[in-house]
A = this chain, B = another copy of it.
Amino acid sequence: MIQKNKPLILVVNDDGIDSNGIKVLSDTMRDIGEVFVVAPESDRSGVSHAMTLDADIYINNVNEEKNEFVCSGTPVDCVKLAVNKILPKLPDLCVSGVNHGSNHSINVLYSGTVHGAIEGTIQGIPSISFSHLSYSDDTDLNPFKEVIKNLSIQVINNKPPKGMTLNVNFPDVPFHQIKGLKICKQGNGYWKEDFKFKKHNAKTSYYSITGEFKTGEITPGTDSWALANNFISIVPITIDFTAYDRLNVLKYLAYDF
């Protein structure tokens, strides 16, 4: 099934195998390589880098011709299972998305889509996460295919250094208003949570989480700034979380017994 010389590409997401975003992404990837899709059976938004340790995980080959697999686990489970049990070799590229909803700024922490790509990076695969700021599954993502294709080819050809993932976000404006692509740093921002009270019984209260993303102050050079100015943002993100600027400052906490 695998054609020689064609790049091998793993496609994953967190919105689930039936989302519009993963269909557009896998269609685009089939123009440039041999594609395997391994995606959650249903929506896994907000699962971050979670793994399934407390249950068995199943994979099901739902389309043998198109190499499409559905998985009962998280995006991270999908990537680990793909690499260990499905793919014939380590792929040349792992792409995650296209997510329906923002994954810029602090959202990199919560997003299952971004962490699918980060797990690709951990496995040693050049990896990109794609997200569109619209939360609607009906958003027309077709105009973005060319940008996605070009970026993917560049990443395959110029292998990025180990430990880096590209986090790409598309602004929610008509495509003709988009001005270009910017390399950015991660913006500030936070979720203002709202806990909807559902019921109370004895000492137990039930809530559902909702919330609204607040960008905070928008600083030039950040993804939040690029997106607010109709640019596509690309943030190189690292799996080394060390706050290097604090290493010396915190020396006062160290001592020998």
Contact = CB atoms under 8 A, between A and B. Distances in A.
Interface in A164-198: 164, 167, 178-183, 185-186, 190, 193, 195, 198
A206 B110 contact: no
A81 B205 CA distance: 11
Interface in A201-257: 203-209, 234-244, 246-247, 250-257
| Number of this chain's copies in the complex | 2
Contacts of A55: 208
Interface residues of A, number: 79
Majority DSSP secondary structure for residues of A touching B: mixed
Interface stretch (A22-30, A31-39, A57-65, A132-140): A57-65
Contacts of A142: none
A167 to B, nearest CB: 8
Contact of A206 (B58, B77, B247, B252): B58
B118 A84 contact: no
A121 to B, nearest CB: 10
A193 B109 contact: no
Interface string A40-53: 00010111111111
6 contacts: A48-B115, A51-B110, A59-B205, A60-B204, A85-B205, A180-B256
